A = this chain, B = another copy of it.
């Protein structure tokens, strides 16, 4: 390949499975959320996107029509991706989970016919979701390119990322594309196969590509101190992460004392919420801001477009994790 200057990465975005699919309806996309995500990504990514003109990049025929959409060959007013790029990674939601859990792909054992069949079925399901997400972004004029971890040759060892050359992702970014990756069924050297989750991919890409910030789009406002369904659940707005990966809540402060509500060492994983924070903290300790925020809200737009890079405004709802030195 010709030598290119490697383009800096502004943001890695995780589209959570629960945020873009209907959790309880098999293989059903939450079209409204996906459209909003695509539009917010366009606004965040592109210069000149205040222009009303969107020249879509999905030129496939539409359901019920035998002809492709009219292609505007004048792309000259088209807003362009800024000098710093984005990478999109999505989860599976109601795609893939049924197939994976029915066959136990995550547990390995590819020599068993059911596991092998489930591996094939899982990949069909998650790649079909990937295609629909790439289409949705392309319709918004985002030059999105689907890239499957399995096809990239990525594999795991004991379910941890093992071989994962990111050069094909870097080349796609340098050529001006927005790579769209996804949680996938992959080969595993210790147990033959497993599921490589979108979150593990994000951690790996964050370490390799060093984006300025990472945004997790979810179906809740952020991380709470207890299940968000409980009436007294408090949204943790700002978490300070130290270089050793330990972290403490900065906002909200424990009423009256001005002290953080609690502090947990990074290895003290006592529950789902703590696990979630610890994983995000592993990214934040690299000096990369992490925002966990509800999809399709003004808060997600502010996270995506980089508005939170300075002070976190008091009216922003979400969870931000940042390195303190």
Name A's B-contacting residues (CB within 8 A). Answer: 1-2, 25-27, 55, 57-61, 66-68, 71, 73, 75-76, 78, 80, 98-99, 102, 110-114, 116-121, 123-125, 127-128, 131, 134-135, 138, 141, 143-148, 150-153, 155, 162-163, 165, 167-168, 171-172, 175-177, 187, 189-190, 192-193
Chain B contacts of A145 at CB under 8 A?
120, 123, 150
Question: By the criterion CB–CB under 8 Å, are A176 and B116 in contact?
Answer: yes
Number of copies: 2
Question: By the criterion CB–CB under 8 Å, are A138 and B121 in contact?
Answer: yes
Given contacts A120-B145, A153-B168, contact A113 B1 (CB under 8 A): no
Interchain CB contact (< 8 A) of A193 among B55, B57, B148, B175: B175
Given contacts A75-B117, A117-B57, A171-B155, contact A26 B68 (CB under 8 A): yes
Question: By the criterion CB–CB under 8 Å, are A124 and B58 in contact?
Answer: yes
What is the chain B residue whose CB lies nearest that of A112? B75
- 13 A–B contacts from the bound complex (CB under 8 Å): A1-B155, A1-B189, A59-B118, A71-B102, A75-B117, A117-B141, A146-B151, A151-B168, A152-B152, A153-B165, A153-B168, A171-B187, A175-B192
Chain B contacts of A112 at CB under 8 A?
75
What is the chain B residue whose CB lies nearest that of A28? B66
Interface residues of A, dominant DSSP = loop
Interchain CB contact (< 8 A) of A78 among B73, B110, B113, B144: B113
Given contacts A26-B66, A124-B135, contact A189 B2 (CB under 8 A): yes
Q: Apart from A150-B168, A175-B192, what 14 extra A-B contacts exist at CB < 8 Å?
A: A1-B189, A27-B68, A57-B116, A57-B117, A57-B124, A59-B98, A75-B114, A116-B176, A127-B134, A146-B148, A147-B150, A151-B151, A153-B167, A155-B171
Bound state CA distance, A111 and B143, in angstroms?
Answer: 12
Bound state CA distance, A162 and B171, in angstroms?
Answer: 14
